[in-house]
């Protein structure tokens, strides 16, 4: 269950992906229940899965309804909104949704890419090099992983404030320039699984350390990098607290903050217009990119979670 530390594994230059990249050891679980015995579990799981799927169905259904019927909880809208997808069309002009979408997209992509490579640099250093203070510094990384976010929330805001950037989008992605403890830890496992012989060969070919990192380590650790990218994408796309602190003014908003605001704008009790059906459409549109990413990168998410647990 623990990670495979493979420093200095001599000999055998087999170009395999280190086993730790494969995820849980499926070969250990060989027992298969006969289908009949599985049936009760399948039924139970199916029953529970309704709880997880139905809210999505409700959401999509509500997004296709008219204002008067949006909360009638019927699964099939009756009547459908004008032109069925009316709400989806309106939301782009009723609120600066396109702007928010673009903001979310560029901030999230930037943040994910930056943290992937910054963490890779750091993880590689801890995995490959031997140097004084290595264990101490890695201990600092580990400590950061356990740090409650709330402790640094205010001072970090004040830092940005003193630099004059506390009302901009920069604080949302700039900290990712410095890597993130969780991903550093994850990627270090991968880098440690790369046989040193690969690197020695590259060094002898005249590579300096950075080229070696870039040409050898990074391609092999691609699964870990993709996991990092996808996880950070999801986290940044969904983040509400940081935009709440730093973004002021609709032109800066990301989707979560915009949606939060719309809950007030459309609420009758706050003087809004009650057009929650547009909000439902907005929720669906906000979730769609993540669902698409999940559809394509599902195995990476699963892998990423299981690697998380191997810390023990």
Minimum CB distance to another protein smaller for 14 or for 29? 29
* CA-based R_g, the chain, Å: 24
Minimum CB distance to another protein smaller for 14 or for 155? 155
| Rounded least distance, CB 89 to another protein, Å | 19
Give 77's DSSP letter. Answer: -
| Rounded least distance, CB 237 to another protein, Å | 7
Structure tokens at 199: 């690197």
Rounded distance between C-alpha atoms, residue 231 and residue 112, angstroms = 8
Report the first-to-last Cα separation within the chain, whole angstroms.
Answer: 8
| Rounded least distance, CB 79 to another protein, Å | 14
Minimum CB distance to another protein smaller for 66 or for 197? 66
Minimum CB distance to another protein smaller for 12 or for 25? 25
Rounded distance between C-alpha atoms, residue 26 and residue 225, angstroms = 22
Minimum CB distance to another protein smaller for 11 or for 249? 249
Question: What φ, ψ does residue 221 adopt, rounded to 5°?
Answer: -90, 15
Rounded distance between C-alpha atoms, residue 132 and residue 185, angstroms = 19
Minimum CB distance to another protein smaller for 14 or for 73? 73
**Which region holds residue 136: left if phi is over 0, alpha if psi is between -120 and 50, else beta?**
alpha
Rounded distance between C-alpha atoms, residue 286 and residue 238, angstroms = 9
| Rounded least distance, CB 137 to another protein, Å | 7
Give 1's DSSP letter. Answer: -
Minimum CB distance to another protein smaller for 156 or for 201? 156
| Rounded least distance, CB 243 to another protein, Å | 10
Structural contact between residues 250 and 99, judged by C-beta atoms closer than 8 angstroms: yes
Structural contact between residues 183 and 115, judged by C-beta atoms closer than 8 angstroms: yes
Structural contact between residues 57 and 75, judged by C-beta atoms closer than 8 angstroms: yes
């Amino acid at each position: 269950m623990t990670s495979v530390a493979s420093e200095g594994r001599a000999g055998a230059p087999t170009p395999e992906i280190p086993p730790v990249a494969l995820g849980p050891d499926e070969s250990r679980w060989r027992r298969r229940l006969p289908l009949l015995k599985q049936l009760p579990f399948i039924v139970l799981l199916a029953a529970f899965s309704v709880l997880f799927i139905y809210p999505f169905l409700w959401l999509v259904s509500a997004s296709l309804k008219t204002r008067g019927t949006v909360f009638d909880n019927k699964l099939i809208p009756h009547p459908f909104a004008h032109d069925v997808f009316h709400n989806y069309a309106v939301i782009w002009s009723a609120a600066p949704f396109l702007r928010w979408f673009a903001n979310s997209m560029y901030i999230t992509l930037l943040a994910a890419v930056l943290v992937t490579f910054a963490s890779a640099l750091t993880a590689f250093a801890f995995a490959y090099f031997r140097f004084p203070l290595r264990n101490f510094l890695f201990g600092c990384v580990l400590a950061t992983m356990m740090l409650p976010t709330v402790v640094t929330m205010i001072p970090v805001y004040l830092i940005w404030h003193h630099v004059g950037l506390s009302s901009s989008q920069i604080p949302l992605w700039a900290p990712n320039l410095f890597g993130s403890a969780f991903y550093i830890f994850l990627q270090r496992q991968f880098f440690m699984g790369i046989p040193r012989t690969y690197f020695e060969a590259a060094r002898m070919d005249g590579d300096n350390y950075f080229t070696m990192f870039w040409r050898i380590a990074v391609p092999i650790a691609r699964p870990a990098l993709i996991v990092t990218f996808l996880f950070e994408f999801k986290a940044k796309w969904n983040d509400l607290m940081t935009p709440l602190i730093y973004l002021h003014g609709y032109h800066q908003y990301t989707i979560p903050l915009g949606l939060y605001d719309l809950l007030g704008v459309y609420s009758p009790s706050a003087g809004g217009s009650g057009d929650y059906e547009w909000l439902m459409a907005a929720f669906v549109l906000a979730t769609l990119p993540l669902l698409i990413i999940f559809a394509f990168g599902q195995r990476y998410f699963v892998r990423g979670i299981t690697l998380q647990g191997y810390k023990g």
